[in-house]
Each structure stands twice: as structure tokens, then as C-alpha cells.
């Protein structure tokens, strides 16, 4: 039937996005870890954002597919999976905000920034982002929620949990000083990440608001599916943006791939030498 085809296409696209999220963001984390760039404050924050995007592929998307598959869930199961998804979204928002502040300080007060901001400060900010996100997102699990039974076409009522998430849109400006050209380019690249985040998540949030304030029938299921796919695709797009726009991450990618292929060549070299020695020995 048409509904089954739509569900199949939606599930297939979610699986493809999930795989892209996992592979792309795992590469970001490994590349920055191997290149020691994770010790720098900005890239420490990028790694935290990549981990959140990785968990979107590993956790949030599978949960979305399960819920869409009409799997019967208790109210608290529904509430828990919603809290998990919101946690990852809030972590992304907080990390993007921290990156914006970091870039602003780096561009406008570079000397004071280098003296004052150390690696431990970045890890404290990252830890704070995750703690705040978890506390804010899991408040409903402790009783602060609106529990409403909605009538459906079936005789049995289904339990729905709805959340409205307001996403801040941090931005930062670029200076025209040639002395800070490199930092400006990085700031511009990371601003693209912020813009893509807003573009990816805004349609779904608008539909959530319409469904909440106007009525659940005002937005079709197909529209919700498109909004969910767009929001999830943001986590898969970020690694591509890093690879194309951030020079240090691009070099880390290339270095990691070269090491992988070099290791393969080095493993084959002793075998070739041994084979050559055996041939020479037999001819002698």
C-alpha cells in the first residue's frame, strides 16, 4: 500500500543518514584525536559536537524509526526516548554557542585569549554543556510534563508526549584584519555549521509549534517525516563541512588516510622481500 511504501522509504533514508552520521563523525573524532588537535579549545568543542552527532546516528535515529514503526510504548518509555533526543539537540545548541563565543574571543582578543584559555577550560565547558543538557532534558522524567490521552481511530487511546524546544541562533562577526585572517576563515567555516543547524531544525520546530498550538491534524505525517529527516541529516552534513572548510581537520583526515594506506604497504613490503629472497636462494 501507499502508506507502507512511504514508511519503507522513510526508514531507508533514516538508516542511510544514521550510517553517514556514525561513519562521518567517528572519522572526525579519530582524526582530531590522532592529530592532537583535540588539545586546542576550539577543536575540543568540535569533538564534543561530533560525539553528539555520532549519538544521533547511534541512538536518536533508531529510536525515531522504532517509534514510527507503531511499536507500542508506555508513557514513560515514550517520555524517556524523547528526553534522550532532546538531550542531544540541546548539547548541539550549547556546543555551537560555546564555539561561537570561543571564536569571538579568539578573533577580538587573541593575545588575552591565548594567555587565559587552556585545554582544561575547554573540557570544563564541554562537561558543563552535557550536564546542563541532561538536567534540562530529563526534567519531565521527574514529573514536570503534560500527560494527555489523545483519541485515535482505534478504540484504545494512545499516549502522546509533546515537547517544544526553543533553539537559540548564535552568530558571530568577522573582522577584516589580515593578522587574523586564519582565525576568521575558521570562524566563517564554523558559522556555516551554525547556519546549517538552524536551517535543518527550524522546519521541524515550526511544525511542532503548529501541532501543539493549532492542532495535531494541521501538519501531515509526510511533512513531519520530511522535517525529521532534515533535522537528522544535519548530523551527517557536519563532517562534510569540516572536511571541506576547516583546513586543520582536512589535513587530519588526509594524514589518517595516508597512515592507513601506508600501513597496508608496509605490511606487504616484508612479504615481497621474503618472496624475492626465496627466489634468489632457489636459483643459487
Asked if residue 173 is part of any domain, the answer here is: no
Residue 179 has pLDDT above 50, yes or no: no
Task: Report d(CA 49, CA 235) in Å as an integer.
Answer: 9
Give the total number of structural domains in the chain.
1
> 43 Cβ partners below 8 Å, 6+ apart?
32, 37, 248, 249
- Is residue 148 helix, strand or coil? strand
Spatial CA neighbour of 52 closest among 12, 8, 98, 9 = 98
In the prediction, which pLDDT does 169 show?
36
Q: Is residue 251 part of a domain?
A: yes
Q: How confident is the model at residue 269 (pLDDT cuts 50, 70, 90)?
A: very low
Cell of 230: 532534515
Residue at 163 is within a domain: no
- The reply to whether 39 falls in a domain is yes
Report how far residue 272's alpha carbon sits from residue 137's, in angstroms, rounded to the nearest whole number: 58
Helix, strand, or coil here: 158?
Answer: strand
> What is the span of the domain harbouring residue 107?
5-144+184-259
203 within some domain: yes
Q: What is the mean pLDDT of residues 212-228?
A: 89
Please check the confidence at residue 192 and state whether its pLDDT lies above 80.
Answer: yes
Please say if the pLDDT value at position 72 is more than 80.
no
Q: Is residue 18 part of a domain?
A: yes
Q: What is the pLDDT of residue 230?
A: 94
Percentage of the chain with pLDDT > 90? Answer: 31
Q: What is the CATH number of the domain that holds 246?
A: 1.20.1070.10
3-state secondary structure of 161: coil
Report H helices in the chain.
2-34, 41-55, 61-68, 75-108, 110-116, 119-137, 181-213, 221-245, 247-283
- For the cut 60, the answer to whether the pLDDT of residue 253 exceeds it is yes
Classify burial at 280, counting beta carbons within 10 Å of its beta carbon; exposed 0-12, middle 13-18, buried 19 or more.
exposed
pTM, to two decimals: 0.76
Q: Is residue 271 domain-resident?
A: no
Residue 239 predicted with pLDDT over 70: yes
Does residue 124 fall inside a structural domain? yes
Dist CA 197 CA 226 (whole Å): 15
Cα separation, 199 vs 60, in Å, equals 19
Amino acid at each position: 500500500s501507499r502508506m507502507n511504501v512511504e514508511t519503507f522509504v522513510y526508514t531507508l533514508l533514516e538508516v542511510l543518514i544514521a550510517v553517514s552520521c556514525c561513519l562521518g563523525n567517528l572519522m572526525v573524532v579519530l582524526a582530531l584525536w590522532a592529530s592532537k588537535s583535540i588539545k586546542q579549545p576550539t577543536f575540543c568543542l568540535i569533538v564534543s559536537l561530533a560525539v553528539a552527532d555520532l549519538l544521533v546516528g547511534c541512538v536518536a535515529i533508531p529510536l525515531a524509526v522504532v517509534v514510527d514503526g507503531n511499536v507500542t510504548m508506555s508513557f514513560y518509555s515514550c517520555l524517556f526516548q524523547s528526553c534522550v533526543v532532546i538531550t542531544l539537540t540541546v548539547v548541539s545548541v550549547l556546543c555551537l554557542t560555546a564555539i561561537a563565543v570561543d571564536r569571538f574571543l579568539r578573533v577580538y582578543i587573541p593575545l588575552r585569549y591565548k594567555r587565559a584559555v587552556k585545554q582544561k577550560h575547554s573540557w570544563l565547558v564541554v562537561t558543563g554543556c552535557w550536564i546542563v543538557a541532561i538536567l534540562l532534558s530529563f526534567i519531565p522524567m521527574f514529573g514536570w510534563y503534560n500527560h494527555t490521552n489523545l483519541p485515535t481511530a482505534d478504540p484504545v487511546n494512545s499516549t502522546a508526549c509533546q515537547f517544544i524546544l526553543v533553539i537559540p541562533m548564535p552568530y558571530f562577526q568577522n573582522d577584516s584584519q589580515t593578522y587574523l585572517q586564519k582565525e576568521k576563515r575558521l570562524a566563517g567555516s564554523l558559522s556555516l555549521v551554525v547556519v546549517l543547524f538552524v536551517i535543518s531544525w527550524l522546519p521541524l520546530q515550526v511544525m511542532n509549534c503548529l501541532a501543539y498550538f493549532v492542532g495535531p491534524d494541521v501538519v501531515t505525517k509526510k511533512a513531519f517525516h520530511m522535517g525529521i529527516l532534515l533535522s537528522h541529516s544535519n548530523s551527517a552534513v557536519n563532517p562534510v563541512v569540516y572536511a571541506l572548510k576547516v583546513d586543520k581537520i582536512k589535513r587530519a583526515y588526509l594524514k589518517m588516510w595516508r597512515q592507513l594506506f601506508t600501513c597496508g604497504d608496509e605490511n606487504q613490503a616484508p612479504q615481497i622481500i621474503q618472496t624475492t629472497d626465496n627466489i634468489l636462494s632457489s636459483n643459487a
